[in-house]
Chains A and B, each alone.
Chain A
Amino acid sequence: MKEQEEELTGKAYDSRLMKRLLQFIRPYKIQMALALLFLVIFAFCELLGPYLIKIAIDSKIATGDMHGLLIITLIFLLVLIIQFIVNYMYQYLTQWLGQHIMYDIRNQIFTHVLKLPLSFFNKNPVGRLVTRLTNDVEALNEMLSSGLVAIFGDLVVLIGIVIVMLNLNWQLALITFAIMPFIFYASWLFRVKVRDSFRKVRLRIARINSFLQENISGMSIVQLFLREKKNYKHFDELNKSHLDAHLETIRYFAIFFPAIELLSSVALALILWYGGFRIYNQTLTIGVVVAFIQYAQRFFQPIRDLSDKYNIMQAAMASSERIFILLDSPEQQNTLKEPTALKAVTGKIEFKNVTFSYNGDEQVLKNISFTVHPGEKVAIVGATGSGKTTLTNLITRMYELQQGQIMIDDVDIAAIPVNNLRKMVGMVQQDNFIFADSIHDNITLGNDDITPDKVAAAARNVNAHHFINKLPDRFDYTLFQRGGNISVGQKQLVAFARALAYDPHILIMDEATSSVDTETELWIRDATNKLMTGRTAIIIAHRLSTIQNVDKIIVLHKGEIREMGAHAELLKKRGIYYRLYRLQFKNTE
């Protein structure tokens, strides 16, 4: 579905894309200008060669002037040396430009990605984003470093050749140019064809990437369920369609190159034929014909290069289009009205008629209203899918509200800068994401304000030090990606230490104690109690034992608040909470 959508996007607005790409070049105007200057000098030297040869043939060799030939040769040598230096500078500068622009683009994309709302990540596979930041940017770099500037260089050489040719003999020049319309038509046709097939290629490699990402990450599930054959078949299909797209592209290239070659040989034949005619009439020297032949060779080389660079350009255009689509996907709205930074937070949370839906269709939360007073602990209970996680995600603006308001300290959170808000509100999530980094870095997440002492203290508080102390390098022990070398419970302890180390004003725990054994749970509860003192806390748990200390319990059912009140109050009501409670009690009797 999504892939089809992507396949349909965009037609041929090259100039619009190019305009946006040029913005990345703007900071490097000086370097760019220098590169172009070197290029023009280079092109000039390039044009001088055949002209010097013409002089040598017509006025030195023909007349047997050895001394004149020596002078011409020496001038030629000087031109070569200048060309060598200028060429190096130009090559180096364009590479430098390409690399720095690539860095800037990557920086901008990644900065943007980090600002995208969570709903974006739910819709876009990780592999696709990886492709944008790696392969697509690489394609852009090729265009910038060897495409764009080189095309400009080719143009300079072309114009120069046209001028020189017209000066040497305008009739012969015009006859040579006669084939130009054909070359442009062939190039245009080629461009149209190749553009489409390149789009296909890019799209299909992105699919391969997504597939690999998902299947490599979930390989043990693939193996346990004996899906190897089926998944291989699926992969083979993706891979095959990628191959087909390439074979199409290859054919276009294979036709195009010989076609251009043929046209240039027709030009050569025309020069010979008309030049021969003029020599026969004694209105032209042999040196001019020789120079024309040389210029014609240099004339078609850039045109052939131009089309060769279509390869690079098409890939870059397709890539840039996708990069811009990504850059244009709206960032999370930062502020509504007057941004109000929270300073001294007391921790009052208020939901006012909050209604929320992920897709605009089914409402996950319906008209939720409640108030949590500063320092209060609130537990949210409810069946799976009742909207508990969504509710807590709204507080930290992981998703933007559509209806109603959430206030912290009587300020609408939509007016609080997200950074400010999330600093105030700490969150322990359902999935405890572990980075391929040391335990220390997994707790601080790179925040240097959190000293090793604080890390150790946080770990001790959540009783994570028991297992950490047993590891070879203790806090410096490097975890595998996703924490593959520690148990789920241990991952959770690390996540707890992380939350504790960040010392938030408001704490939100989402089913955090769910997959730890009772003993660890006791440790964590002990830590949680410490963590909760002096803070407003909202805890999601499905085990009633973990919410015995809270001031208020909210029972959510199918997105609605069905019961709300203190433990004893709710028991008296004999409603859902009572039923849940009895169930838990009965089980362990």
Chain B
Amino acid sequence: MVSRRLSAASPALVVLALLLAWDFATRFGLADPRYLSRPLDVAALVWQWTRTGYIVPRMLATFSEVGIGYVGGTLAGMAVAFLFFFVPRVAELCDPLVVLLNAAPRAILAPFAVLLFGIGLGSKVALVMLVVFAITLLSLSTGLKEVDRTIVDNARVMGAGRADLTRHVYLPAALVWVVSAMRISIGQAFTAAIVCELLGSTDGLGWIIAAGQSAVKPDWIMTGLFFASVIVLLVDIVILAPLERRGSHWLVF
């Protein structure tokens, strides 16, 4: 009984231990608080920004970049995946481009985006779109190929034409893959947006971090990272996980 409670609490204990180690390190001269800040300082700043509402517009800025890029990237990824599926010749022709697209984390293209689309909203949206597009395309292409042959044959015998197949078989099957792709890409989308903000921006969570970096204010950096992390986790836990669970009730392996 006790051990079960202990093991349920142990992740929290690990976090607590890490926080204490951080605090002691700065207190007893093992680390310089000018570069590392202190847990309580960060907590105070988190509380202050929450109380004054200072953080809200910063979060909204990052949110809208990710939101717009996300929707655009998902739709574009779906469109191209279906194109590749129904016209295999195009897929074959574009294969080297797809390999290139998947070879590396797309966030390394951030300087590019900033230079091409400026330090405003455009560059972040473009980069997030690219990230989400690549993941959706890859995941959906695999997914469409794995739609069960028997299901397709059965629908055809029952009289389904190409349009019926797309609507009743391929699209719903694809949706499961799109949702799981969205779950994979949420972290990468936020990373892309924030990295892009770090390289040039006027607002957003990445801007806070960048400002903290250039002014040597580690508590700013940490608080910015704290809010960024909280957002990513919240989106995953509150929106995407239930969505995937809802979708996967037919995917019982």
Do A and B associate with each other? no
| Chain B residues within CB distance 8 Å of chain A | none
Q: Give A contacts to B, CB under 8 Å.
A: none
